[in-house]
Amino acid sequence: MALPSFQQLMLPALQCACRRLDEMHVSKLEEDVAEVLRLHAGDLERMLPSGQQTVFANRLHWARSYLAKAGLIESTRRGFCRGTQRGRDLIAEGVDEIDVGVLNRFPEFVQWRDSYGKGAVEPRVEAAESPEEQIVANYQRLNAELARELIERVHSFKPAFFERLIVDLLVKMGYGGGRLEMGRTLGRSGDGGVDGVIKEDELGLDVVYVQAKRFAEEKSVPIREVRDFVGGLEGHRASKGVFVTTSYFPSTAYEFIARVSKRVVLIDGPELASLMIRHRVGVRVKAAYEVKRIDEDYFVE
């Protein structure tokens, strides 16, 4: 079956925890729940975007946390838990699912929910993700919208602004030692197919040439533009080049640069927006939030 939501994991987690009277390690609980639900190895290995925890382990963690707030399971010591008598009584009722609505039957859960603000801790009932996953998903949606706005804003300015932006971005990425004076635009007249240049060393012995072309989102960069850029590099006796566009490159462009002796990097619109966000070019931090978790290494007697 597909990977269940954290709420769908509540019932099997409680059932597995209540099968035995003694405590069990959370890793054993993970194994038992995965076996009961017959989850595929591929689903169990899916990682969160942070790469620090599997999606399954994260959802099961939140399932255990919510069950504990309702007094259905309890943490006995670091990394161990067990079902409570209340949890066994709920299982004995023959419930076919446990979600936030069921947990609202227990005053301890309601008190915890209300003490932090209902809207802040209670997820959508239909949500598949854990609260942590929802934060990540919302973050990704905000960045996707920001990326769209960035490309739109770039199109509203003159080409010279776009050329300067690309040079600024490459410098922010560390080219030219991160020094603004090491990068400059060449202007529209007599540029030989090149819009900007970044010196990698003080004497300019190693140089990166830049081409910046704006196209409508649905229009690919003509392959002739890429060929002209490579030819321009030859005219400048350069070996490195970066071609940036607001749209996208056809497959023939990638095939072409794979065959030439020059080291050419193609950056399309989505990657451009992603790099601008990552290196804070044309954007600023509006707010920062940290997601914290209990430090189990600290709480040891």
Can you tell me the distance from the alpha carbon of 8 to that of 60, in angstroms, rounded to the nearest whole number? Answer: 9
- Bridge partners (DSSP) listed for residue 209: 197, 241
Q: Does the pLDDT value for residue 270 go beyond 60?
A: yes
User: pLDDT by residue (tens digit) across 3-40?
Assistant: 899 999 999 999 999 998 899 999 999 999 999 999 99
User: pLDDT by residue (tens digit) across 50-64?
Assistant: 777 899 998 999 899
Helix (H, G, I), strand (E, B) or coil at 196: strand
CATH architecture of 10-129: Orthogonal Bundle (1.10)
**Residue 252 near residue 219 (C-beta atoms within 8 A):** no
pTM, entire model: 0.62
- Bridge partners (DSSP) listed for residue 241: 209, 264
Q: Does the pLDDT value for residue 126 go beyond 80?
A: no
Average pLDDT over the chain reads: 86
For the chain, give every residue range classified as CATH 1.10.10: 10-129
What secondary structure letter does DSSP report for 129? S
51: left (phi over 0), alpha (psi -120 to 50) or beta: left
CATH class of 150-278: alpha beta
Q: Does the pLDDT value for residue 124 go beyond 50?
A: no
For the chain, give every residue range classified as CATH 3.40.1350.10: 150-278
Q: What is the pLDDT of residue 127?
A: 54
Q: Packing angle between helix 26-37 and helix 55-69, nearest 10 degrees? A: 110
User: pLDDT by residue (tens digit) across 73-100?
Assistant: 998 888 899 999 999 999 999 999 999 9
- ∠ at Cα 59 (56, 62), nearest 5°? 150
Can you tell me the distance from the alpha carbon of 31 to that of 49, in angstroms, rounded to the nearest whole number? Answer: 22
Q: What is the pLDDT of residue 1?
A: 65
